[in-house]
Homo-oligomer: A and B are copies of this chain.
Amino acid sequence: MKALIKITLKNGVLDPQGKAIENALGALGFDGVSGVRQGKLIELDLAASDAPAARAEVERMCQNLLANTVIENYSIELVN
């Protein structure tokens, strides 16, 4: 089973990397772009084939290692 984890900064947390992208897009002539935020995307393969168990395991991975839950949100998507 494949898991796709999206990790994004919480609202209100400054995102200098996103701001840099926004400025660079403006400098390249892309107008009307705002609110750029950069996050992380982690794909992994799990041995578990039971969806609820797999989701619980990935949830624990996010809490323990993948996301900094003080400043980041995460969402988990399972793909068979």
Contact = CB atoms under 8 A, between A and B. Distances in A.
A40 B41 contact: yes
Contact of A45 (B34, B38, B43, B45): B34
Contacts of A32: 46-48
Interface string A57-75: 1001100111000000000
B40 A40 contact: yes
Contact of A61 (B30, B35, B46): B30
Give the residue among A32, A41, A48, A57 with the most B Cβ atoms within 10 A: A41
A57 B7 CA distance: 25
Contacts of A22: 44
B28 A65 contact: yes
